[in-house]
Amino acid sequence: MSQNAPASRPTGPARAQLLLGRCLRFSASPFDMAPTEAAQIDSGGAVLIEGGRIAAIGDGAALRAAHPQAEVHEYGRAVIMAGFVDAHVHFAQTAIIASWGKRLIDWLNTYTFPEEMRFADPAYGAQIAARYLDLTAAHGTTTVASFCTSHPASAEALFAEAEARGQAVVAGKVAMDRNAPDALCDTAQRAYDESKALIEKWHGRGRATYAITPRFSPTSTPEQLDAMGALWAEHPTCLMQTHLSEQLDEIAWVKGLYPQARDYLDTYEAHGLLGARGLYGHAIHLEPRERARLRETGGAVVHCPTSNSFIGSGLFDMNGLMAEGQMVGLATDTGGGSSFSMLRTMAAAYEIGQLRGAPLHAAQLLWLATCGSARALHLEDEIGHLEVGHAADLVVLDLASTPAIAQRAARAHDHWDEIFPTIMMGDDRAIADVWIGGRRVRRTP
């Protein structure tokens, strides 16, 4: 499968589909109990898909006998699990991923803002939206939460492309009215009006969720943050996504721009942008008050490990935040992150955990990339779990996708020892199959 290029649309009949293989499910968070007890792997399992949803999970032989008309897909020892959920991305940065050598603020000015100006052309936005969703599906990602650009058409492009694929997506037009090129700046009123129009058109339509999206405090005036806070209060079922405490020089910049604020989080809190449906990307250098308020309000922080290392931001405190009861998601942060792959992202999260003296178990990494991110997006009743009634958004992992991985997996003493090399060394070749909304994502030469 990985030798071919992604198709622009999934295909598949309405007939019931039966997937046979090793089924991986979570019954609890592996951060709340022993990781191997929170997850179950059924070696002879099966997943029945009907009407775009998971209709049954159980013994493969029994489900095959009970549903003789179903089309059967035999995956052998491959692992069938919930599709990956990427909780913080910038789809508009697809073409500039892995750009060399800049810290955050310089990186924005050198690479990001010039590229985002190209999205004034709706045709370019549509092209990149299709390319981005092809690339992420090839890596097993079935849902993303994306910042768009300040152009409403960029959000239109991503929502429309996801809708055509039957794919769940979270997205929002970026709001920013200062410290950016004039061609990218809106105003407080324009950001409110354009975001509201997008909410009315897309939020709750099919599988679309709107996220009100002030880029971050340095690129929004207090008046614009007030406008975004008012919009969120008017549309409380929307998510709100932004950035928080990514780099120390960024934090110093925020303090200069908002001298009255108690800390970085207070620049959002003071304007109605702190809440249970808030997503705060990076959140590396948090003050004690910020951690306490995030926990009290239920806002989610999103770990972006490849980005944090690539741009030199710092080491996220996964274990400390989890021990406090924080809600945490996992993300590639395309294109500050250096990969579209959630497998590579999990590997980076493991490496950062090692640097902090707290390595993560394979079950914890897979949970973060599925259940944890779905919970952060408040979509845990729809995606991120291999459960009856959930959307049939699935990934099938080949645990012997390359000679290097295969020779290591052959020495495994249990399921987790076999899965871990794929997390650490896997790429799109490890993605044996992907299903989105019950349709198989096929790839053509």
If one counts the domains in the chain, the total is: 2
Q: What is the pLDDT of residues 353-411, one digit of tens each?
A: 999 999 999 999 999 999 999 999 999 999 999 999 999 999 999 999 999 999 999 99
Domain end point (choices 376, 402, 426): 376
Q: Within this chain, do residues 252 and 399 fall inside the same structural domain, yes or no? A: no
Residue 405 confidence (pLDDT): 98
Cα–Cα distance between 78 and 43 in angstroms, integer? 9
Tokens found for residue 159: 């929502």
Question: Are 419 and 320 found together in one domain?
Answer: no
Mean pLDDT of 262-267: 98
Q: How confident is the model at residue 444 (pLDDT cuts 50, 70, 90)?
A: very low
Query: How far is residue 294's CA from residue 178's CA, in Å, rounded to a whole number?
Result: 27
The Cα diameter of the chain in Å comes to: 68
The CATH number covering residue 361 comes to: 3.20.20.140
81 has which bridge partners?
395
Q: CATH number for the domain including 417? A: 2.30.40.10
pLDDT digits 0-9 by tens, 22-46: 999 999 999 999 999 999 999 999 9
In this prediction, residue 311 has a pLDDT band, given cuts at 50, 70 and 90, of confident
| Model confidence pLDDT, tens digit, residues 81-91 | 999 999 999 99
Query: Is 3 a residue whose pLDDT tops 50?
Result: no
Do 136 and 252 have their domain in common?
yes
**SS3 at position 111:** helix
- pTM of model > 0.85: yes
Indicate whether 313 and 394 sit together in one domain.
Answer: no
Q: Are residues 100 and 217 in the same domain?
A: yes
Same domain, 248 and 310: yes
Which amino acid belongs to residue 96? I
Chosen domain end from 346, 376, 406 = 376
The whole-angstrom separation of Cα 251 and Cα 286 is 10
Asked if 329 and 409 sit in the same domain, the reply is no
- Alpha-carbon distance 158 to 212, whole Å? 15
Judgement on whether residues 144 and 54 belong to the same structural domain of the protein: no
Contacts of 348 (CB under 8 A, 6+ apart): 305, 306, 309
Q: Which amino acid is at 379?
A: L
DSSP 49-77: EETTEEEEEEEHHHHHHH-TTSEEEEEEE
Q: Examine the fold and report which residue of 329, 346, 376 is the final residue of a domain before the chain moves on.
A: 376
The residue behind tokens 């940065």 is 93
DSSP 8-class letter at 27: S
- How far from chain centre, in Å, is Cα 40? 23
In this structure, the answer to whether residues 130 and 257 fall within a common structural domain is yes
Amino acid found at 151: H
| 89 & 58 share domain | no
Q: Which residue has the tokens 């990307």?
A: 281
The one-letter amino acid at 86: D
pLDDT of amino acid 109: 80
The pair of three-digit structure tokens given for residue 365, joined into one six-digit string: 């990494």
Boundaries of domain holding 406: 5-82+385-444
Same structural domain for residues 368 and 413?
Answer: no
d(Cα 138, Cα 80) in Å, to the nearest integer? 16
Do 251 and 343 lie in a common domain? yes
